[in-house]
Amino acid sequence: MTPHTAAPLHKPLLLLISLLQGLGLLVLHESVEYSFWPGTSFGPLFGLIAFALIAPTMLLLTLTRENGGLSAKWIAPFSLLCAGLAYYVGVQATPPDKVESGALIFTLVVTMGLASFKALMYIQQRAGRQHITYGALFTLSWQNFLVLALGGLFTLVIFGLLKLWGGLFNIIGIDYFSDLFKQKWFLYPALSLGLGFGIILLRSQLAIISTIANIWHVLTKFLLVLLVFIALLFLLFLPFEGLSALWQTGKGSLLLLWLMALILFFINSVYQSEETNRAYPIWLHRFIYVGIACLPIYSVISFYGLFARVGQYGLTLERCWAWLIWGMLTLFAAGYCVGIIRKRDNWVAQLSKVNIGMGLVVLMVTLLVNSPLLDFRKLSVNSQLARLDSGLVTIEEFDFHYFRNHLARPGYLALIDLKARYAESKPEVAQRIEELMVNRWSRASVISSDRFATRVEVYPHGYVLPAELLDHIYSYHKDDWQFKNSQSELLIAIDLNGDNNDEFVVIFNQKFSRYAFMHIKTDSGWQVQNLQAHNVGNKIDLLEAIKANPPQAIEPKWKTLQIGELKFQVQ
């Protein structure tokens, strides 16, 4: 990879931008902590944070003494667009006390980071008055990635040195420095300046960045051959084993998409430009493009898996993302295959055209997923409600927890509508929704001990529980996450130790798992022990399973070996 000639940097201006970025982030942090605008409104807060992170960072990576006006001309509107999209996402995180926003924020950070990374390469070429070429885009992508990564590492080292500084002076009784280095008003500007200084140093040494990228290029040449070999070998054995084994894992489509993504990534790491010089001998070069020509087969297989899953269970956030990733990978693979068909050994010439165009497509898509035009949360809500309305799923089977914990504001609004729809015909459904919606931080503050006593299923039916047992279980577990995320509870009275006295096992049912605790009455009060569960991902209905096979205590096949206080138990 040939490094770009380092243009003269306006270092004082870049350091000023770093300082202003740190001060801006400090103000936004304080607005949340001390509850003043914009910290009291998620829309403006998300938008301003996005602008404060994206615009200065892009300027730090782009600005020179020669391109100041052009850089600002391109970076300003893109940063404002990202801020507007972040504003929309922030609104989807409201009301904050009833909407789970962790996954929402994570998705926003990843997609905006990717969009900014893609846009930065194009902006840098436009700001430098250069014609957009794939070779230059590739070079800039690695330069930007390594400069940011090493600059971030440099900032972490500065933070570590500050901690060391404060710790050393603490030893001799001077705590001024350790107290200073904990203050947000100091850390935000200091670390922002550290990042800016690191970026300035690294941008001045692009030859070193190019050397690191060249080392990676050598490694990826081997890895690409290995990946293609794995892909072709898998296709060779697949007809003998069939697709059923692949789908039984529940992750078949995901694994295939990962394989496609890795192959495409390493192809672009090896074939870095439009140069006609091949990276491999001719026979190995042809082996590589045979593997690329087989990628559409993987695309078809993964399409079948995704289509079947959506037909069975409808759209979810995960499946929407899977479809999006499938579409992007398929377009890349199809473009490369067209080049192979048209140019055979010279297919690399087509690669640059595909990558430039697909880079813009990826940029557009990563922006759209944060807009109302392609909101996967709304698509998932509509799909799941359609399944409910058509009778494919009953209201008793409906996954309210998924709406509550994963679909942000669209899920919250849908739950309000469902609560109103079933308030009279199925009041227990409305009550269940109410329990989920009142407070996202503490389910226990919503469900009273009396309510818990009415919803827990007791086995054997009609069993007379000790008077204080349910109050004890509620008090003991009400703050536990197993209780807060439980969709239903089962209480089983059973003698597990053969002493002719019943122990009481409470099982908390969650969407993907179950957690059990044994409560034992002793002379000194109640004791609680955790029970290790096996096959917890099995989605059988416990009440139906009890009807068919009543719970029973099974003696262990192997006894425990004890030597003194040391015990050995067969797992």
Q: What is the pLDDT of residue 443?
A: 47
> How many CB atoms lie under 10 A from the CB of residue 173?
6
Structural contact between residues 527 and 520, judged by C-beta atoms closer than 8 angstroms: yes
Same domain, 65 and 145: yes
Read off the pLDDT of residues 382-393 as tens digits, 9 standing for 90 and up. 999 999 999 999
Same domain? For 369 and 380 the reply is no
Mean pLDDT value of segment 222-239: 90
pLDDT at 540: 67
Note whether 414 and 548 are same-domain residues: no
- What is the model's pLDDT at position 445? 46
pLDDT band at 538 (very low <50, low <70, confident <90, very high): low
Helices (H) and strands (E) in the chain, counts: 22, 7
Contact 102, 406 (CB under 8 A): no
Model pLDDT for residues 157-167, shown as the tens digit of each residue: 999 999 999 99
Residue 317, in any domain of the structure = yes
Place of tokens 């003696």: 555
Handedness of CA 219, 224, 229, 234 (dihedral sign): positive
Give the total number of structural domains in the chain: 4
C-alpha gyration radius of the chain: 29
Residue 3's pLDDT band, with cuts at 50, 70 and 90, is: very low
pLDDT, position 442: 45
Residue 411 domain flag? yes
Residues 50 and 139 in one domain: yes
- Give the lowest-confidence range in 82-86, 147-151, 228-232, 243-247: 243-247
SS3 at position 166 = helix
Residue in 489, 494, 462 with CA at minimum distance from that of residue 476: 489
Both 353 and 382 in one domain: the answer is no
Look at residues 204, 220, 240 and tell me which one is the last residue of a structural domain.
204
Confidence of residue 249 (pLDDT cuts 50, 70, 90): low
Q: What DSSP string runs through 533-570?
A: -SSTT----HHHHHHHS-------SSPPEEETTEEE--
Higher pLDDT among residues 518 and 514, named by residue = 518
| Structural domain span for residue 194 | 11-204
Q: Quick check: 221 and 280 in contact, CB under 8 A?
A: yes
Question: Is residue 313 a part of any domain in this protein?
Answer: yes
Residue 234 CB burial class (10 angstroms; 0-12, 13-18, ≥19):
middle
CB contact at 8 A, 504 and 519: yes
Asked if the peptide bond before residue 427 counts as cis, ω within 30 degrees of 0, the response is: no
The verdict on 415 and 555 lying in the same domain is no
pLDDT at 278 over 80: no
Same domain, 198 and 57: yes
- Examine residue 556 and say whether the peptide bond preceding it is cis (omega within 30 degrees of 0): no
pLDDT at residue 205 above 90?
A: no
Q: Give 238's pLDDT tier (boundaries 50, 70, 90).
A: confident
Tokens of 326: 């499938």
Phi and psi torsions of 186, nearest 5°: -90, -45
> Residue range 505-522: average pLDDT?
86
320, 344, 374 - which closes a domain: 374
Q: Which of 204, 234, 256 delimits the end of a domain?
A: 204
Distance (Å) of CA 419 to CA 354, 384, 435: 49, 16, 11
- Is pLDDT at 4 greater than 90 in this prediction? no
Positive/negative CA dihedral, 484, 490, 494, 496 = negative
Given pLDDT bands bounded at 50, 70 and 90, which one contains residue 333? very high
Inter-residue contact 390 to 138 (CB < 8 Å) = no
- Is there a domain that residue 3 lies in? no
Collapse the DSSP code of 39 into the 3-class scheme (helix H, G, I; strand E, B; otherwise coil) and give the result: coil
Instruction: Classify 535 in phi/psi space as left (phi over 0), alpha (psi -120 to 50) or beta.
Output: left
Whole-number Cα distances in Å, 64 to 137, 203, 218, 409: 18, 10, 31, 43
Q: Are residues 73 and 105 in the same domain?
A: yes
Verify that 233 and 198 share a domain, yes or no.
no
Closest CA to 234 of 218, 212, 258, 213: 258
Residues 33 and 165 in one domain: yes
Given a contact cutoff of 8 angstroms between Cβ atoms, the answer to whether 139 and 120 are in contact is: no
Residue 483 lies inside a defined structural domain of this protein: yes
Structure confidence at residue 190 (pLDDT): 96
Most confident of 49-53, 134-138, 217-221: 49-53
Cβ neighbour number for residue 372 with a 10 Å cutoff = 11
Let me know if residue 422 belongs to a domain. Answer: yes
3-class secondary structure, 3: coil
Minimal CA–CA distance to 76: which of 109, 51, 53? 51
List of residues 6+ apart from 513 with CB closer than 8 A: 533, 536, 537
Element (H, E) at 246: helix 244-248
pLDDT of residue 514: 85
> Would 553 be classed as within a structural domain?
yes
Give the pLDDT confidence of 459-490 residue by residue, as tens digits: 988 899 988 899 999 989 887 877 877 778 89
- Smallest CA-to-CA distance from 376 within 319, 327, 307, 312 is with 319
510 and 396 within one domain: no
| Per-residue pLDDT tens digits for 410-447 | 999 999 999 999 999 998 888 888 877 765 544 444 56
Residue 213 has pLDDT above 90, yes or no: no
Per-residue pLDDT tens digits for 359-401:
999 999 999 999 999 999 999 999 999 999 999 999 988 988 8
User: Is the same domain home to 264 and 401?
Assistant: no
3-state helix, strand and coil shares in percent for the chain, rounded to the nearest 5: 65, 5, 25
Cα–Cα distance for residue pair 421/391, rounded to 1 Å:
16
Span 14-64, pLDDT tens digits: 999 999 999 999 999 999 999 999 999 999 999 999 999 999 999 999 999
What pLDDT is recorded for position 295? 92
Q: Exposed (0-12), middle (13-18) or buried (19+): which is 388, by Cβ within 10 Å?
A: middle
- Kindly report which listed range (92-106, 402-416, 438-452) carries the lowest average pLDDT score: 438-452
314 within some domain: yes
Q: Considering the chain, what is the average pLDDT of its residues? A: 88
